[in-house]
Chain A
Amino acid sequence: MKRAAWLALVAAVVFASTSRAGEKRDFFKVGVVTELSGDLATGGNVTKRGYDLWAEAVNKSGGIAIGGKKYKVKLYYSDAQSNPSQGAAAAERLITQEKVDFILGPYSSGVTIAVAPVVEKYKVPMITGSAESPLIWKQKFLYTFGTIPPVNFTGAAAIRTLAGLSPAPRTAVIFGSNDTFSKATAEAFEGAAKKSGIKVLKFNIVPAGQDLTPLMSAAKVLNPDIVAFGGHDEELIKLVKSLRQIDFTPKALLMHYGVTEPAFVEALGKDANQTFGGAVWTAAEKTKGKILWKDAPTYAAAAMKAFNVPADYTQAGSSAAGIAFEVALEKIKAAPPISEAKRAELIKALETVDVETFYGRVKFATEGDYYHANVGLNPLTIQIQSGKVAVVGPGQSAEAKAQYPMTRWDKR
């Protein structure tokens, strides 16, 4: 009797797995691996808002049109817990257990680098709507794409904008927090500064999450024109507070991602003003979208309505990742579930995507150091002015004049 029960159980499992292999469904299973908890949960949840908004908009429009029929999308989340190994495990679970058709990728570069080999192994396409480290693209993963250009592409533009200000900055101290993205940001700042003739007086990579006041004291003695820092939201807030506490106002304070987050202005108030940052999209950008949202303001309004939080470029990039999949799927007419052969075809289709969206142009590089990163966008230099994000460069994109040199902290 006991043996019969065991046999029945085995038979049930075998039957269940065979029926799964031949499953039929009328919706796309979209896996999402991102940082929903842990140190990077702030950014992870920004990507989540972007992915959710895309899924909601697609489903509202009826779904993705494949051969005259529309298929809705369903997101399957798996938390990377801000930990690369957990991210890799999360991706593996989504692929092997949930049998997702494709994946929307993590917020951070560190987790993306850990997830990329997993999607490569199982041949499941992934687009990250956030990761910016050039290291991801240098490894030339066939199945990994990204909608945000690498930080050496965007960060360098911000330095070039600063170099063009008057009086021209001559010296800089550059720091980066010790994580994949922040380190790459600092290195991008350093490389661009040297090319622009700005002397780098000090360059350091520091442990993440540290109180950097002593380091800023050392910078104060060097009295550089530019203080540039690669880090994440909380670190940026701490850095501005440190500068304020030691009463050092450089001519320009440059950061990157995080400056455009509403929390930066909310936490620092007047002290957030005049901080420069790099971005690839703002809510006021003049874009012309063909799919889901007609331009940046329309997207920003939809995002505000859905989450009551202003959208930044990471959220927009995450929604654009969904759009890129949409375009490629429609092109190859891949109905769900997508077979391995069709997924290989999907990669080819993604490589040919060239589409104008609310986020700007999405076009993935197919060779070189930016392999599979989106190179269709123009990097923007932004500055916080009166608590709002204003584009101050490059020239043709500028919507406001850069406020430079910075006003002393005590004169604000």
Chain B
Amino acid sequence: MELLPQALMDGIMLGAIYIIIAIGFSLVYGVMHVIDFAVGEWIMLGAFAGFYLTEWTHVEPMLLLPGVFVVFAAAGYLFQPLIHRVLSGHRGNPLLMGLVFTFGLGLMFRGLAQTFFGFYSHSIPSRFSNGSFFLQGGGFSTTVSSVRLAGLVYALAITGILHYLLKHTDFGLGVRALAQNRDAAGLMGVDNKRTSAFVYGIYVGISAMTGVLIGMILSLSAKMGPDFTIFAFFVVVLAGMGYLAGVPAAAFLLGIIQSFFLIYLDPGYTLLAVFAILYTILLVSPRGLFGKGV
């Protein structure tokens, strides 16, 4: 019992990391119907951008996040037509084409990163990394790491901003229309190519910022990508493919399961537990936790 608040807190903080790695991934699947297996590599490239920028400018990495977002969003916007080309035309099974293309892209990014950035692991120094709070009350106590709390705030802020963008702006209306029916949305004046490029840009920008945060909280290296791709995929499948609103709940659930397993049960079976729960939920509700996935 003594550890319960800490287990919950660690799970929530872990869940926050999962939200930010999965939310853009879910958005892109919902709109473009692309399972982007390069998500981990976008995160990795963002992490390296944050690492080098911090090293060169000595600026607090949290302050660099908007700049990283803009640069990577622009890169994603310019990159998206390439993916669009792979998915369109007379190619059979565009879902598979997108998956294979992004998988290859991920491999290429990883190889290039190993060549240019080397093999060593790094960490992004931040003034938030060093602090923690000790909360106590009602017979319970828990330690909260400042940098993980910053990650949680960031995850909730990104979720809130995306929610506002999708539900309360014309752009969001277009995005939702595209996600529902691409042809009908086109007939109503939604520019598929342009909107998809914006969505992909937003996703790449969010992923890159996530990379910077992960570099502050954990570590970064050229080979870090695949672990995050797998967890992004887990969360999105659990939430329901393309169902953005389900991502936070699914991410927190995964984080808390992992934390409880690591603390109370056998840590060796943590990933097995995550797989088993994912499998069971998909068996009972194939469209995710809320039954609202594609």
Contact = CB atoms under 8 A, between A and B. Distances in A.
Interface of A: 37-39, 41-42, 44-45, 175, 178, 204-207, 209-215, 217-218, 220-221, 233-234, 237-238, 241, 244-247, 261-263, 266-269, 409-410
Given A38-B223, A206-B270, A409-B130, A214 B148 contact: no
B286 interface: no
Contact of A245 (B111, B129, B271): B129
Interface of B: 2-3, 6-7, 10-11, 13-14, 17, 111, 114, 119-123, 125, 129-130, 132, 134, 143, 145, 147-148, 217-219, 221-224, 227, 258-260, 262-263, 266-268, 270-271
Q: Interface residues of B: mostly helix, strand, loop or mixed?
A: helix
A18 B260 CA distance: 64
A246 B262 contact: no
A263 B120 contact: yes
A42 B262 contact: no
A39 B223 contact: yes
A218 B9 CA distance: 12
Contacts of B129: 241, 244-245
A217 B10 contact: yes
Given A234-B121, A247-B134, A241 B263 contact: no
Nearest to B272: A207
A206 B268 contact: yes
Contacts of B123: 237, 241, 267-268
Nearest to B17: A211
Nearest to A206: B267
16 contacts: A38-B223, A205-B267, A206-B262, A209-B227, A210-B262, A210-B270, A212-B262, A214-B6, A214-B14, A215-B263, A217-B10, A234-B224, A238-B218, A241-B217, A241-B218, A410-B130
Contacts of A234: 121, 219, 221, 224
Given A214-B260, A261-B120, 20 more contacts: A38-B223, A42-B119, A205-B267, A212-B262, A213-B10, A213-B148, A214-B10, A214-B258, A214-B259, A221-B6, A234-B219, A237-B219, A241-B123, A241-B217, A241-B218, A244-B130, A245-B129, A245-B147, A262-B120, A263-B121
Contacts of B217: 241, 245
A44 B17 CA distance: 30
B59 to A, nearest CB: 17
Contacts of B219: 234, 237-238, 241, 267
Contacts of A210: 258, 262, 267, 270-271
Contacts of B143: 217, 220, 246-247
Contacts of A42: 119-121, 221
Nearest to B110: A37
Contact of B121 (A212, A237, A245, A409): A237
B263 A217 contact: yes
Contacts of A211: 14, 17, 218
Nearest to B215: A267
Nearest to A236: B121
A39 B119 CA distance: 9
B271 A207 contact: yes
Nearest to A178: B268
Contacts of A175: 267
Nearest to A46: B119
A237 B123 CA distance: 8
Contact of A41 (B3, B13, B223, B258): B223
A245 B148 contact: yes
B132 A246 contact: yes
Contacts of A38: 223
A217 B7 contact: yes
Contact of A204 (B130, B224, B268): B268
Given A214-B11, A218-B263, A207 B130 contact: no
B121 A217 contact: no
Contact of A246 (B2, B145, B266, B270): B145
A213 B14 contact: yes
Q: What are the 9 A-B residue pairs with the smallest beta carbon separation, nearest first?
A: A245-B145, A263-B120, A214-B262, A267-B123, A214-B259, A214-B10, A234-B121, A42-B119, A206-B267
A178 B218 CA distance: 19
Contacts of B266: 204
Contacts of A205: 267-268
A39 B121 CA distance: 11
B106 to A, nearest CB: 13
Contacts of A217: 3, 6-7, 10, 143, 263
A178 B111 CA distance: 25
